[in-house]
Amino acid sequence: MTSAATWGGIAAIVITATTGDVLQARAMKEIGNLGVIRKTHGVLEVARRILISPWFMPGLFFMALAFFSLLVTLSWDDVSIVGPASASLTFIANALAARLFLKERVDHRRWLGALFVACGVALLAH
Amino acid sequence: MTFRRYLVLAAVAVFASCGDVCLARGMRGFGVVTTANWPQLFGIVLNPWVLTGICLLLLFFGTYLTALSWADLTYVLPATALSYVLMAFLAKLFLNEHVTVSRWLGIALITVGVGCVASGPAVAPAVRPHRERHEAEVHVGSGARGDA
């Protein structure tokens, strides 16, 4: 039986992972095509631009938080419920967050894709 | 989308799944993490499997950021979800985990979802006021196919 604590942990993973992904995506969108920057300015310039981006470090921080939330929640319950539940819910949360905060246009094709992937990941638990 | 970009997306999936499997393999030697033995976790970084896993996950992070620099988050995440399928195969091969019927069904669903998203445009125009929207669609639609 999955306890309230486990679901709280899963919620924490989903929220921190989504926040991290959205912040990283925001950073990369602002920096622009890394391949082009590498060709014209070199690898060090790519690293510099990523590190000075105001979105990158907070994004990394939230990704680390998501990782530790996962570790803690895994100590409360089985990996077969925590892993797929958090991963599939993160797909849905990311689609919502990208629509809201990154103003990405999530069309039917992408909603359907995210839904299929989320269901598939949930099935991998069994 | 060029062939090279599909290669980057494939690399994201391969590095993520191989990295996770290496970490899982390395952690098997460690056993259960408790409040008494957690400082030993720092020592496990020297385990060759864990070390390989960390290197692979760094490569994953690099390719993931590259993909995000030219594609939407709602494109990159589902398009690289094949990593879950790869992970199931790798777990069967190297960790001797059993792959059940419902897992195969899950793998099929993920593959369909990936196909749905990956065949569409990598960058969709931002949500704009109604009047501007049509123009943005035309612009990005032609740009997403033509660039390098």
CA A72 to chain centre: 18
Give residue B94's pLDDT. 78
Contacts of B40 (CB under 8 A, 6+ apart): B30
**How far is the C-alpha of A18 from the C-alpha of A102, rounded, in Å?**
12
Share of chain A residues as helix, strand and coil, in percent rounded to the nearest 5:
85, 0, 15
The stretch A29-43 carries a mean pLDDT of 87
Q: B92 vs A57, which has greater pLDDT?
A: A57
B70 interaction partners in chain A (CB closer than 8 Å) = 33-35
Give residue B147's pLDDT. 41
A94/chain B closest Cα distance in angstroms? 7
Q: How confident is the model at residue A35 (pLDDT cuts 50, 70, 90)?
A: confident
Per DSSP, A102 falls in state S
Chain A interface includes B36 (CB < 8 A): no
Instruction: State chain A's mean pLDDT as an integer.
Output: 86
For the entire predicted model, the pTM comes to: 0.77
Burial environment of residue B30 by CB neighbours within 10 A (0 to 12, 13 to 18, 19 or more): middle
Give residue B96's pLDDT. 77
Give residue B33's pLDDT. 64
Q: Do B124 and A126 touch (CB under 8 A)?
A: no
Q: Do A102 and B72 touch (CB under 8 A)?
A: yes
**pLDDT tens-place string over residues B32-88:** 666 676 777 677 778 888 899 889 989 999 999 999 999 988 888 888 888 888 888
Amino acid at A19: T
Q: Do A21 and B110 touch (CB under 8 A)?
A: no
Q: Do A123 and B127 touch (CB under 8 A)?
A: no
Contacts of A48 (CB under 8 A, 6+ apart): none
In the predicted model, is pLDDT for residue B143 greater than 60? no
Instruction: State chain B's mean pLDDT as an integer.
Output: 77
**How far is the C-alpha of A87 from the C-alpha of A83, rounded, in Å?**
6
Which residue in B65, B73, B81 is closest to A34 by CB distance? B65
- Comparing C-alpha atoms, which of B6, B63, B13 is closest to residue A35? B63
Q: Do A103 and B78 touch (CB under 8 A)?
A: no
